[in-house]
Structure 1
Amino acid sequence: MSIQTTALRDDYAGLAQPEPGLTPDEIVARAAAFRPLLVEDQANCEERGTYSDAMHERFREAGLYRVLQPKMYGGYEFDLPVFARVIMEIARGCPGTGWGFCLASAHSLNVAGLFTKEGQDIAFGDDGEFAAPARGVPSGTATETDDGWIIDGLWDYCSGSPHSNYAIFGVRLIEKTPSAGPVFGTALVPREQWEMLDNWGDFIGLRASGSNSIRVDKALVPKSLVVRQNLFSIDIDGGTEGYHLHGNPMYSGRMFGFFQTEITSILVGVGFAALDEFERIIKRKLDAPASGPPGLGGGVQDFLRPYGLALGMLEAARNAVLSGAQSYMDYCAAGVVDARLYSEIDDMRIQAGLQHAAKLSGDVIDLLYQAAGTSTSAKNGSRMQRYFRDISMARTNPGLAYERTAAMLAQRTINERIAAV
Structure 2
Amino acid sequence: MLSSNDAALIADHAFDADLEGWLHPAQQALIIDRGWLRMLAPRAVGGFELPLPEVVRLEESIARVDGSMGWTVTLCAGAGWFGGFLAPRLAREILATPKVCLAGSGAPTGYADREGEGWRIDGLWDYASGAPMATHFTFNAMLRENGQPLLDAAGEPRIQAFVVPAALVEIVPRWRSIGLRATASHAYRVSGKWVHADHGFEIDPARACSDGPLYRFPFLAFAFVTLAANVAGMAHHFVALAEECIGHRRNRFGGQGEPLIEVPAVRAALDGARSALAGVRERFYARLDATWAQVAEGAAVSEEDAAQMQALAMEWVNASRRAVDALYPYCGLYAAREDSPVNRVWRDFHTASQHALLLPFACSGQTATEPL
The reply on whether 1:301 has 2:262 as its aligned counterpart is yes
Are the counterparts in 1 of residues 46 and 92 from structure 2 also a CA contact under 8 Å? no
Counterpart AA for 1:125: A
Residue 205 of structure 1 aligns with which residue? 179
Q: CA deviation at 1:212?
A: 0.8
Q: CA deviation at 1:269?
A: 0.9
Q: Secondary structure at the match of 1:196?
A: strand
User: Which stretches in structure 1 are left out of the alignment for 5+ residues?
Assistant: 1-27, 410-421
Tell me the matched-pair count.
355
The reply on whether 1:62 has 2:31 as its aligned counterpart is no
Residue 389 of structure 1 aligns with which residue? 347
Are the counterparts in 2 of residues 150 and 218 from structure 1 also a CA contact under 8 Å? yes
What CA distance in whole angstroms lies between the structure 1 residues aligned with 2:366 and 2:24? Answer: 40
The reply on whether 1:217 has 2:181 as its aligned counterpart is no
Q: CA deviation at 1:179?
A: 4.7
Q: CA deviation at 1:121?
A: 2.0
Structure 1 residue aligned with 2:76, among 91, 101, 104?
A: 104
Q: CA deviation at 1:218?
A: 1.7
Residue 322 of structure 1 aligns with which residue? 285
Residue 370 of structure 2 aligns with which residue? none
Are the counterparts in 2 of residues 70 and 77 from structure 1 also a CA contact under 8 Å? yes
Residue 128 of structure 2 aligns with which residue? 158
Q: CA deviation at 1:261?
A: 1.5
Are the counterparts in 2 of residues 195 and 216 from structure 1 also a CA contact under 8 Å? yes
Residue 376 of structure 1 aligns with which residue? 334
Q: Structure 1 length as normaliser, TM-score?
A: 0.75
What CA distance in whole angstroms lies between the structure 1 residues aligned with 2:225 and 2:5? Answer: 22
User: Which stretches in structure 2 are left out of the alignment for 5+ residues?
Assistant: 368-372
Structure 1 residue aligned with 2:2, among 17, 29, 52?
A: 29
Q: Deviations over 1:121-172 (max 9, x none)?
A: 2221265x43222322211122233353222211111222222211111111
Q: Secondary structure at the match of 2:188?
A: strand
Structure 2 residue aligned with 1:42, among 6, 14, 25?
A: 14
Residue 169 of structure 1 aligns with which residue? 139
What CA distance in whole angstroms lies between the structure 1 residues aligned with 2:51 and 2:23? Answer: 25
Q: CA deviation at 1:193?
A: 1.1
What CA distance in whole angstroms lies between the structure 1 residues aligned with 2:59 and 2:244? Answer: 22
Q: Deviations over 1:333-388 (max 9, x none)?
A: 58x656xx633x6434322220111111122212221232x233223322222222
Q: 1:368 to 1:337 in 2, by over 3 A?
A: closer
The alignment-based identity, stated in percent, is 22
What CA distance in whole angstroms lies between the structure 1 residues aligned with 2:248 and 2:35? Answer: 37
Q: Structure 2 length as normaliser, TM-score?
A: 0.84
Q: CA deviation at 1:250?
A: 1.2
Residue 187 of structure 1 aligns with which residue? 162
What CA distance in whole angstroms lies between the structure 1 residues aligned with 2:308 and 2:10? Answer: 33
Q: 1:219 to 1:322 in 2, by over 3 A?
A: farther
Are the counterparts in 1 of residues 307 and 365 from structure 2 also a CA contact under 8 Å? no
The reply on whether 1:402 has 2:360 as its aligned counterpart is yes
What CA distance in whole angstroms lies between the structure 2 residues aligned with 1:275 and 1:364? Answer: 7
What CA distance in whole angstroms lies between the structure 2 residues aligned with 1:78 and 1:250? Answer: 8
What CA distance in whole angstroms lies between the structure 2 residues aligned with 1:282 and 1:396? Answer: 26
Q: CA deviation at 1:332?
A: 4.3
Structure 2 residue aligned with 1:270, among 201, 221, 234?
A: 234
The reply on whether 1:347 has 2:306 as its aligned counterpart is yes
What CA distance in whole angstroms lies between the structure 2 residues aligned with 1:36 and 1:285? Answer: 27
The reply on whether 1:94 has 2:66 as its aligned counterpart is yes
Are the counterparts in 2 of residues 34 and 90 from structure 1 also a CA contact under 8 Å? no
What CA distance in whole angstroms lies between the structure 2 residues aligned with 1:116 and 1:346? Answer: 29
Q: Secondary structure at the match of 2:45?
A: coil
What CA distance in whole angstroms lies between the structure 1 residues aligned with 2:296 and 2:145? Answer: 33
What CA distance in whole angstroms lies between the structure 2 residues aligned with 1:367 and 1:206? Answer: 21
What CA distance in whole angstroms lies between the structure 2 residues aligned with 1:326 and 1:281? Answer: 35
Residue 365 of structure 1 aligns with which residue? 324
Q: 1:178 to 1:275 in 2, by over 3 A?
A: closer
Are the counterparts in 1 of residues 130 and 184 from structure 2 also a CA contact under 8 Å? yes
Q: CA deviation at 1:173?
A: 2.0
Q: CA deviation at 1:257?
A: 0.7
Are the counterparts in 1 of residues 315 and 363 from structure 2 also a CA contact under 8 Å? no
